[in-house]
Amino acid sequence: MKELKILAVLVFFTLLTYWGIEPFAYSKMHKSVAYTDFVYSDLPALAKVGDAKRGEVLVKGAGACLGCHGIKSQGLLPPMGPNAAAASFGVNPPDLSDVGTLFDQRFLAELIKNPVKALMLEHKFDGKTKFFPMPAFAGAGGDKNQEVADMVAYLKSIAPKDVSAKDAFTVSCGRCHANRYGDWTQIGFVPKTKSNIITNKDVDLLKFKIKTAEYQADLAKYMGKLPPDLSIMIRARSEDFMKTFVENPGSQLKGTAMPRVGLTKEGYKKVKSYLEETGDPSKSAREALGPWVIGFFVIFTILALLWKRSIWKELH
Ligand code: HEC
Ligand code: HEC
Residue type, 264: T
Question: Nearest C-alpha to atom 14 of ligand 2 is from which residue?
Answer: 227
Please indicate whether residue 226, judged by its CB atom, sits closer than 6 Å to ligand 2.
no
pLDDT value at residue 31: 65
d(CA 302, CA 294): 13
Atom of ligand 2 nearest to the CA of 91: 1
The pLDDT-based confidence of 165 (bands split at 50, 70, 90) is very high
Task: State the CB neighbour count (10 A cutoff) for residue 156.
Answer: 17
d(CA 188, CA 178): 9
Residue 156: left (phi > 0), alpha (psi -120 to 50), or beta?
alpha
The pLDDT-based confidence of 117 (bands split at 50, 70, 90) is very high
Residues 84, 218: contact at Cβ < 8 Å? no
Measured at the CA of 111, the angle between CA 108 and CA 114, to 5 degrees, comes to 145
> Which of 30-34, 266-270, 297-301 shows the lowest mean pLDDT across its residues?
30-34
Please say if the pLDDT value at position 303 is more than 70.
Answer: yes
The pLDDT-based confidence of 47 (bands split at 50, 70, 90) is confident
Residues 218, 90: contact at Cβ < 8 Å? yes
d(CA 182, CA 163): 17
Please indicate whether residue 69, judged by its CB atom, sits closer than 6 Å to ligand 1.
yes
Q: Which ligand is nearest to the CA of 89?
A: 1
pLDDT value at residue 244: 94
184 exposure class (CB count in 10 Å sphere: 0-12, 13-18, 19+) = buried
pTM here is 0.85
d(CA 156, CA 67): 20
d(CA 232, CA 247): 19
Nearest to 102 by CA among 39, 35, 187, 160: 160
Please say if the pLDDT value at position 170 is more than 90.
Answer: yes
pLDDT value at residue 285: 82
**Measured CA distances, 243 to 36, 130, 251 (Å):** 10, 29, 11
pLDDT value at residue 69: 98
pLDDT value at residue 5: 93
d(CA 162, CA 267): 10
Residue in 56, 68, 270 to alter for ligand 1 test, most ligand atoms within 8 A of Cβ: 68
Please indicate whether residue 262, judged by its CB atom, sits closer than 6 Å to ligand 1.
yes
Please indicate whether residue 112, judged by its CB atom, sits closer than 6 Å to ligand 1.
yes
Please indicate whether residue 219, judged by its CB atom, sits closer than 6 Å to ligand 2.
no
The pLDDT-based confidence of 30 (bands split at 50, 70, 90) is low
Please indicate whether residue 93, judged by its CB atom, sits closer than 6 Å to ligand 1.
yes
Residue type, 188: G
pLDDT value at residue 17: 86
pLDDT value at residue 85: 98
